[in-house]
């Protein structure tokens, strides 16, 4: 994808779907695309894994025809390795490359990757320069306010991104140490927006369409990125687009509709991963789909016994009759 087109797309849709490990895979991105998402992202993929090309990595790099614009998120800290992986993504036809500068997981931090890079601006610069030199498709980063709670290094990182010619910067309004629970600081995201010319995408704590719009307005960001709220609720895409653009809305998560969608999702997983793995993945999604519209506790205890498509159909049936 051409860099100008990316900027126009970002200004038009104002909505970017998040990279989420274990969730935003091929089958779920297909669902998200079907519900109107245009800019999507793979879960984070280790740059080093591109050179082993094992089955797991290849699956993470699969893309469906239904996905309009999908980027790959890379995790790593060695500039040459990151650059080579980014070039492969470009050659595979992905729309953009995003660099992970925010992951708080211990195993990642201990390797000085993800969020740990917020302690080393020069290394960030080396990585971004190396990647920028080898790809012509848009290059973005996803980062946090700072490493420690109260630390605010995001403006400096956004400036580095701007100097190197990046195409967008996503700011998750929490620190690495805060992980996922602290209140998101919109005023800090707004400060980043004011301090750079590179487009900013605001992320963290979006629960619904009203909040997405409010976050966009109050931060001045060019676009917003919902996170956990999108898991099991692809209807939220329509709701957010409605609040951002006034488009027609059909946000009605009836049990019937959820069941149709969750079945489509499951069958796509079976096709993609095989029945056994699909069952394991669906154990993570099932409760999320029915959250708020069905007393999932009734069937949660059966999730561990989900081992086949027929188990899955019985569980869906139980949602109907319980
Ligand atoms: C289970 C899970 C997996 C995630 N995986 C990634 C990932 O692969 N890459 C990334 O940059 N962020 C990842 N995130 C962070 C989200 O993209 C998002 O920034 C975060 O959840 C904040 O948004 P929220 O408060 O709306 O959930 C993950 C978060 C969760 C909960």
Atom of ligand 1 nearest to the CA of 98: 11
Residue 27 Cβ inside 6 Å of ligand 1? The answer reads no
What's residue 301's pLDDT? 84
Give me 280's structure tokens: 């394991």
Whose C-alpha lies nearest to ligand 1, atom 6? 20
Residue 211 Cβ inside 6 Å of ligand 1? The answer reads no
Residue 71 Cβ inside 6 Å of ligand 1? The answer reads no
Whose C-alpha lies nearest to ligand 1, atom 2? 20
Closest by CA position to 97, among listed 166, 33, 159: 166
Residue 113 Cβ inside 6 Å of ligand 1? The answer reads no
Ligand 1 center from residue 284 Cα (angstroms): 15
What's residue 53's pLDDT? 79
Ligand 1 center from residue 322 Cα (angstroms): 33
Whose C-alpha lies nearest to ligand 1, atom 7? 20
Atom of ligand 1 nearest to the CA of 206: 26
> Could you tell me where the beta strands, DSSP code E, fall in the chain?
39-46, 69-75, 96-101, 139-144, 168-172, 200-203, 223-225
Residue 172 Cβ inside 6 Å of ligand 1? The answer reads yes
Task: Please tell me whether the overall predicted TM-score, pTM, comes out greater than 0.85 for this model.
Answer: yes
What's residue 321's pLDDT? 62
What's residue 226's pLDDT? 98
Which CATH architecture group holds 3-245?
Answer: Alpha-Beta Barrel (3.20)
- Please give the CATH topology (third level) of the domain spanning 255-321: 1.10.1200
Residue 288 Cβ inside 6 Å of ligand 1? The answer reads no
Active-site residue flag, 279: no
Per-residue pLDDT of the chain (322 residues; tens, 9 = 90+): 999 999 999 999 999 999 999 999 999 999 999 999 999 999 999 999 999 878 899 999 999 999 999 999 999 999 999 999 999 999 999 999 999 999 999 999 999 999 999 999 999 999 999 999 999 999 999 999 999 999 999 999 999 999 999 999 999 999 999 999 999 999 999 999 999 999 999 999 999 999 999 999 999 999 999 999 999 999 999 999 999 999 888 667 889 999 999 999 999 999 999 999 999 999 999 999 998 888 888 778 889 999 999 999 999 998 876 5
Every domain of the chain and the residues it spans = 3-245, 255-321
Crossing angle for the helix pair 255-273 and 309-321, nearest 10 degrees? 170
Atom of ligand 1 nearest to the CA of 44: 8
What's residue 295's pLDDT? 83
Q: Which residue is associated with the tokens 């800290």?
A: 77
Query: If you ran DSSP here, which 8-state letter would residue 189 be given?
Result: H
Residue 142 Cβ inside 6 Å of ligand 1? The answer reads yes
Query: If you ran DSSP here, which 8-state letter would residue 44 be given?
Result: E
- Answer for the pair 282, 269: CB distance below 8 angstroms, yes or no: yes
What's residue 294's pLDDT? 84
Atom of ligand 1 nearest to the CA of 18: 17
Torsion of CA 260, 263, 264, 267, to 10 degrees: -160
Whose C-alpha lies nearest to ligand 1, atom 20? 227
Whose C-alpha lies nearest to ligand 1, atom 22? 204
Task: Out of 89, 103, 279, 281, pick the active-site residue.
Answer: 103
Residue 143 Cβ inside 6 Å of ligand 1? The answer reads no
Ligand 1 center from residue 43 Cα (angstroms): 9
Question: Order of strands across the sheet with 168-172?
Answer: 39-46, 69-75, 96-101, 139-144, 168-172, 200-203, 223-225
Q: Which residue is associated with the tokens 């996503």?
A: 170
Ligand 1 center from residue 318 Cα (angstroms): 31
List of long-range contacts for 29-32, beta carbons under 8 Å, 24+ apart: 29/63, 29/64, 29/67, 29/70, 30/64, 30/66, 30/67, 30/268, 31/234, 31/261, 31/264, 31/265, 31/268, 32/230, 32/234, 32/237
């Amino acid at each position: 994808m051409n860099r100008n087109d990316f900027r126009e797309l970002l200004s038009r849709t104002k909505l970017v779907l998040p990279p989420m490990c274990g969730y935003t895979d091929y089958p779920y991105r297909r669902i998200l695309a079907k519900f109107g998402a245009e800019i999507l992202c793979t879960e984070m993929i280790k740059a080093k894994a591109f050179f082993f090309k094992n089955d797991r990595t290849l699956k993470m790099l699969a893309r469906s025809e239904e996905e309009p614009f999908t980027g790959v998120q890379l995790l790593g800290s060695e500039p040459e390795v990151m650059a080579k992986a980014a070039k492969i993504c470009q050659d595979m036809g992905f729309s953009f490359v995003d660099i992970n500068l925010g992951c708080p997981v211990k195993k990642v931090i201990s390797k000085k990757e993800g969020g740990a890079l917020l302690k080393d601006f020069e290394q960030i610069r080396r990585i971004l320069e190396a990647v920028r030199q080898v790809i012509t498709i848009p290059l973005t980063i996803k980062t946090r306010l700072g490493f420690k709670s109260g630390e605010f290094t995001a403006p400096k990182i956004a400036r580095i991104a701007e100097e190197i010619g990046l195409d967008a910067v996503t700011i998750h309004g929490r620190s690495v140490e805060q992980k996922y629970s602290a209140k998101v600081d919109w005023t800090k995201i707004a400060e980043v927006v004011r301090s750079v010319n590179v487009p900013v995408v605001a992320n963290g704590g979006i629960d619904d369409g009203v909040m997405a719009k409010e976050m966009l307005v109050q931060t001045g960001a060019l676009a917003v990125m919902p996170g956990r709220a999108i898991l099991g609720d692809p209807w939220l895409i329509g709701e957010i687009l409605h609040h951002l653009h006034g488009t027609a809305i059909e946000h009605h998560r009836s049990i019937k509709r959820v069941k149709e969608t969750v079945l489509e999702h499951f069958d796509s997983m079976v096709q993609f991963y095989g029945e056994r793995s699909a069952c394991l993945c669906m154990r993570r999604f099932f409760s999320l789909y029915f959250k708020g519209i069905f007393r999932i506790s009734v069937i949660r205890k059966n999730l561990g016994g989900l081992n086949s498509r027929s188990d899955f159909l019985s569980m869906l049936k139980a949602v109907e009759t319980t």
